[in-house]
Structure 1
Amino acid sequence: MRKPRATPVEALPMLPPLPGWITAAPAETLAAAAFRSGAALAHLGLATAAGDVPMALLRDRLALSAAEVCAGIAGRREGARGLRDALHLTKAGDDPGPAGRVLWQWSQAAARPISVAHLARALAGVAPERIALCLDAAGPTPVDRAALVLEAVLTETPRAETAALILADAVLAKSLGGTYLLPLLSLALKARDLRLRGDDLRLACHRAVFAGAGQALPMAGDLARAAARLRAVVPKLRAKAAMRAVDLFLSRDALAPAALAREMPDNLSDRAARRFCERLVELGVLRELTGRDTFRLFGV
């Protein structure tokens, strides 16, 4: 009996987009916006539950997007490329600067399971007791709980926008039964939204969650296909522990060759790591993210 032919990597289906009945639903009232954000969250959860999406990479890529929003709220205009440079091209132990610290906070918060201790490390200066109160927030819906946390933190410390948004997204994820923070709420809130209070803020948060889910879905689909293509080339790679290196790229938004070598000191030198990254670019499964010939960063 002839064996069935393997499905080509390129034939992987896209994740289903938000259905039209969700996107077309009105959001003028708080109840309507809550319905729409809840439907979007449910759809996102189902669409990413199949296992094809590299969730660690999705979290880190969304953390970059959230950090870009936070940098903009703070009046900075580095953009994604500048944020990556500030974090990844700073020597260990050196200060990555304001922009780099924002990205570091988001990446750290999304990298490990939600807990008071972990968030306290990512949010230096925020008391663990304050974080614990935030994580125990109560409200009728997960988005309402996140909005309550956002309002409480910003009322107490108006300039702590990044910490407030990280805690709000952590509460949202925890309320949805998630183990890890998945940046969603923070992707679409504007500086003017953070000055709102009460039902006005809740409405803005429901709208932002809907928009954030709309951003996360196509990104998750792109990363699922990219991950399949990357895993498919492993047999062609001569480097020892190639799968380990591939797994690192499937969990990080960006890596410098030197950082890849540090993660795998028994398998890759700096030079070998650079050649490995270049080979993956030649195979069309990795991107060089800076457009430079030196001080380069690579990612899926």
Structure 2
Amino acid sequence: MPRPLWTGAISFGLVTIPVKVVSATEDHSIHFRQVHLEDMGRVRTKKVCELDGQALSQDEIGKGYELSKEQTVPITDEELDQMPLPTAKAIEIVSFVDAESIDPIRISDSYYLATDGQVAAKPYTLLRKALERSDKVAIAKFAWHNRERLGLLRVREGAIVLHSMRWPDEIRSPESLAPRKVELDEGEIERAVQLTDTMALDTITGFRDAYRDALEKLLTAKSEGKELPEPAEGGEREQGQVLDLMAALNASVAAAKESRGEAGGGEATVHEMRPSKKATAQKTASRKKSTAQKTTAKKTAEVKKTTAGRKRTARKQSAS
């Protein structure tokens, strides 16, 4: 089991369930260090006092709240821990609601709640069974990292999961981002729904982080002195407005069916509907070249005609 991040108890009415909080997720990202390019020495960040310019160690650094530019009030971890907060060492369940009533944008980090000792096994199982049979999730309050938080408790594969949640006033309104009203044809809507059905999956467990895979190949090639992988082709998409929405939907449905090996593929994809920038530039250059050639030919013909006329006039004057 991963190292517990927090220990306390779930407060469920008059029932107390001792628990340990462990992270429910892992970070598999590849991290880089800042280095001096000349000798590859690691570059570190120093914490320096802006008043005396001295570099400080961690035990010399504390917390302070700035009342004004001239006054800062110091605060210690002991003072924060001793605040009269009922949720200081407890996950206090305050209500039960339908899961569908929770806006996913409010959900933040996720943690597993593990029993802390055998005494917690029975009340832990009791809460889990209650959540499963009621088809509801629990809303709770808890204090962590010097602030009170809102949490959501649900069951996942026999374990109780705690999702930290954002408070309602922490969610920005998207009202100003909504697009202007447009008219949609019923056929376009039905075709879009058909596209969602064609692209539907029972599970998303098969998705992989393609960027991390490519980065691992790059780092392996560099470390072994091998030739670097070739850049991927076809990853860049044309930007711009799709003029024929229905044609784009039809092509998208056909492409989705083809990717699944279903019949009906082989039609043009969305990206083939619009000419590429390179092709457009070539056509423009060709038109300009053709126009220039026609203009030059016209001017040459006019010059020849004028010269011939002058010569005829000169011969007539010489004969007279």
Report the TM-score when normalising by structure 2: 0.19
Larger Rg: 2
Q: Higher relative contact order at CA 8 Å, sep ≥6: structure 1 or structure 2?
A: 1
More strand by share: 2
